[in-house]
Amino acid sequence: MSMREMLALATVLMLGLSVADAADAPRFGQPITPADLAPWDISIAPDGVGLPPGSGTSAQGAKVYADHGCALCHGEKGSGGPSGPLVGGGPLNSTDREPVKLIGNYWPYATTIFDYTRRAMPWQQPKTLTDDEVYALTAYILALNKIIGENDVINAETLPKVKMPNRDGFISKYPDKH
Ligand code: HEC
């Protein structure tokens, strides 16, 4: 191959490469639309910021609990099943190396019950419950744990005011935020 031919070949190869480069360039896509983001933008802060409209009571929650098969994994009235109980738990103490940490004896914020249940339950069909159903289930779980009364209405105003038994068992890294 002559020098000229080699140069020509090199040029062709380089052109080929730069075309390939363009095809491999990062494709950053498009900004996400608010409609696509909304189903994922569902975090509820400990103080209740982000809670949606809606409400529910323990009696309504008992029905939702039955209709959505929660008992299959958590037992009748949250008493325990293959995925653990939603009720009970003894007092926590600093010497117990394997404490049983449940909603009633461990979780510091009632708002987390709403957030968790809405985003993750039922296990096999997450994000299928309506906000009213999640408020009702939250009321049901709180009432089963005897943290609220049977007839208390749980909504965006009342839920953040529910004081969990272990609320003061945590040291916040951001004390100003609570
Ligand atoms: C197919 C089984 C299954 C069903 C049905 C199910 N869950 Fe769960 N649930 C789980 C599992 C597994 C976990 C634990 C997940 C983990 O720890 O990562 C869990 C955890 C939870 C927790 C957190 C408990 C804790 O102390 O950490 C709540 C609250 C809860 N489920 C509520 C519900 C409600 C309400 C329903 C009905 C709408 C429901 N679950 C239906 C499997 C299930």
Ligand 1 contact via 73 beta carbon (within 6 Å): yes
**pLDDT level of residue 154 (50, 70, 90 thresholds):** very high
Closest CA relative to residue 144, chosen from 74, 96, 67: 74
Mean pLDDT, residues 124-143:
98
> Does the pLDDT at position 21 exceed 70?
no
Mutational test site, ligand 1, from 76, 92, 123, 147, max ligand atoms within 8 Å of CB: 123
Q: Which residue has the tokens 């461990």?
A: 106
Cα gap 178→172, rounded to integer Å = 8
Ligand 1 contact via 117 beta carbon (within 6 Å): yes
Which residues are within 8 A (CB) of 152 and not within 5 positions of it... i.e. 6 or more apart? 57, 58, 139, 142, 143, 158
Mutational test site, ligand 1, from 58, 60, 64, 73, max ligand atoms within 8 Å of CB: 73
**pLDDT level of residue 46 (50, 70, 90 thresholds):** very high
103 CA: nearest ligand 1 atom: 26
Q: What percent of the chain has pLDDT over 70?
A: 87
Ligand 1 contact via 112 beta carbon (within 6 Å): no
